[in-house]
Amino acid sequence: MTRTLDSPISENELRRRLEEAEDTIRALRSGEADALLVASDREQVFTLESADKPYWLMVGQMPDPAAILTADGVVLSCNQGFANLVGREPVRALAGESMLSFVADHVRPDVEALLRSGLARDTQGDVPLSRPDGAPLTAHFGIRSLREGAFGFCLLVVDLTTQQHYQELKRTQAALRDADRRKDEFMATLAHELRQPLAPMRNAVEILKTCATNADDLEWARGVLDRQVRLMTRLLEDLLDISRLSRQGVELRLEPVELGAVIEAAVETSRPFIDDAGLKLTQSLPGPVRLTADPVRLAQVLTNILNNAARYTEAGGSIHLRAEREDGGVAVSVRDTGVGIDPEMLPSIFEIYSQANPAFTRSRGGLGIGLSLARGLVELHGGTIEAKSEGRGRGSEFIVRLPIAS
């Protein structure tokens, strides 16, 4: 540092002034003092601190945690965000603490390694931390090496949990939108399905109104009314069941049952659909298997799966029903040679209102809630249901697994 001297000057005074200059430099180096500049008009003084003030304000207001650490990982200074991250107050009390003291034992080696590599070059990495309240947090550490002076690094932390949370919200929103769209499609299908039986019923009623005495005509009209009323009843029953299931309103009437009897009942109910579709049904059953189940509901499950197989298999195809014992339970599988399921449709096949192809389904009848109903009922029995398909045109297989009462 230079300063002008007023000459002449005594040797003592010179010595004193030089000592003072040396002391100033020592105090500045050790951080005991801050350099000061006086503006030429002497109206203003500046220190590094006042020059840094805008940056400190900026860093201070930043929500992301930031800290300056020594090469040994000791905090020299940090912002409020950093204090919030490590759950300590006040900010200034954190100076002098080791960064490692803020992280759990099991992540300490990771953080240590990150800091060590940060000493050589700028580095970054994700570290699992926990919030002061114990909630898990994924922190992205950005470490900038500060090669000069007493500083080691500048550490910037980005809380990835917020971003992950945002992504999750976006996914949920997309799923909700999708569910909403499927509900709309379901409503359209429902209206169509409910209107479908009305035309033949109206025809039959017209015939009856003409007081026709022709026995064949009366028989035909009775048959039409009977079939269509049955169809509508089944549709409405399914609808009621699905709404009961979603409101936990279904109660099982559990009793000891023989699986073979349940399968027989289901096949009997589905037989007209399978025959109408021109399909061949084969079965392979094990010996007697006793379950604790609601026989009516379990038969409903298998009927829905069989009907589904019939609906999606072209005439001339076949359906194979197989039951076999497994560890602690029984597996009932229904395999068809039908249109199969696209791999991307598989995960949502049991979702309510899910339909592989609404237009295609309409042509075959049905609301597309049968599988959803089946899953709900199987789960009420403590079992699982699984769909398999090697893809479009390669057939499908539905497997129901149920625990066997011990």
Partner 1 sequence: MKPDEIVAPLTLVEVANGESADLDTWDLRLYVAGKTAKSVAAFENLSRLCEEHLPGKYRIEVVDLLVHPQLAQGDQIVAIPTLVRKLPSPIRKVIGDLSNAERTLVGLQLRPART
28 binds partner 1 (CB under 8 A): yes
Of the two residues 56 and 166, which places its CB atom closer to partner 1 in the complex?
56
Write the CB contacts of 347 (distance below 8 Å, at least 6 apart in sequence): none
Of the two residues 44 and 214, which places its CB atom closer to partner 1 in the complex?
44
Give the whole-angstrom CA distance, residue 299 versus residue 203: 34
23 binds partner 1 (CB under 8 A): yes
Question: Binding partner 1 by CB under 8 A: which of 32, 133, 216, 327?
Answer: 32
Contacts with partner 1, 60-89, as mask; x by CB under 8 A: x----------------x------------
- Total residues at interface with partner 1 (CB under 8 A): 32
* Residue 246 burial (CB count, 10 A): 12
50 binds partner 1 (CB under 8 A): yes
126 binds partner 1 (CB under 8 A): no
Of the two residues 68 and 330, which places its CB atom closer to partner 1 in the complex?
68
Tokens of 387: 């769909």
Give the whole-angstrom CA distance, residue 260 versus residue 325: 13
Question: Binding partner 1 by CB under 8 A: which of 7, 8, 11, 30?
Answer: 30
> DSSP readout, 41-108?
TSS-EEEHHHHHHHHHHHHHH-SS-EEEE-TTSBEEEE-HHHHHHHT-S-GGGGTT-BGGGGS-GGGH
CB of 55 to partner 1, least distance (A): 9
Question: Binding partner 1 by CB under 8 A: which of 5, 36, 175, 191?
Answer: 36
| Span interacting with partner 1, options 43-51, 203-211, 235-243, 287-295, rule CB under 8 A | 43-51
Tokens of 254: 């559990």
Kindly provide the b/e burial profile for residues 18-54, where b requires at least 16 CB atoms within 10 angstroms of the residue's own CB: eeeeeeeeeeeeeeeeeeeeeeeeeeeeeeeeeeeee
Of the two residues 95 and 191, which places its CB atom closer to partner 1 in the complex?
95
Cis peptide before 132 (omega within 30 of 0): no
20 binds partner 1 (CB under 8 A): yes
45 binds partner 1 (CB under 8 A): yes
| Span interacting with partner 1, options 16-24, 238-246, 281-289, 371-379, rule CB under 8 A | 16-24
Of the two residues 77 and 348, which places its CB atom closer to partner 1 in the complex?
77
CB of 15 to partner 1, least distance (A): 12
7 binds partner 1 (CB under 8 A): no
Give the whole-angstrom CA distance, residue 215 versus residue 194: 29
Give the whole-angstrom CA distance, residue 311 versus residue 355: 12
120 binds partner 1 (CB under 8 A): no
254 binds partner 1 (CB under 8 A): no
Give the whole-angstrom CA distance, residue 99 versus residue 340: 57
Kindly provide the b/e burial profile for residues 55-86, where b requires at least 16 CB atoms within 10 angstroms of the residue's own CB: eeeebeeeeebbbbbbbebebbbbbbbbbbbb
Give the whole-angstrom CA distance, residue 356 versus residue 41: 82
Question: Binding partner 1 by CB under 8 A: which of 53, 177, 280, 364?
Answer: 53
160 and 126 Cβ atoms separated by less than 8 Å: yes
Residue numbers of the site for partner 1 (CB under 8 A)?
Answer: 1, 3, 16, 20, 23-24, 26-28, 30, 32-36, 38-39, 42-45, 47, 49-50, 52-53, 56-57, 60, 77, 91-92
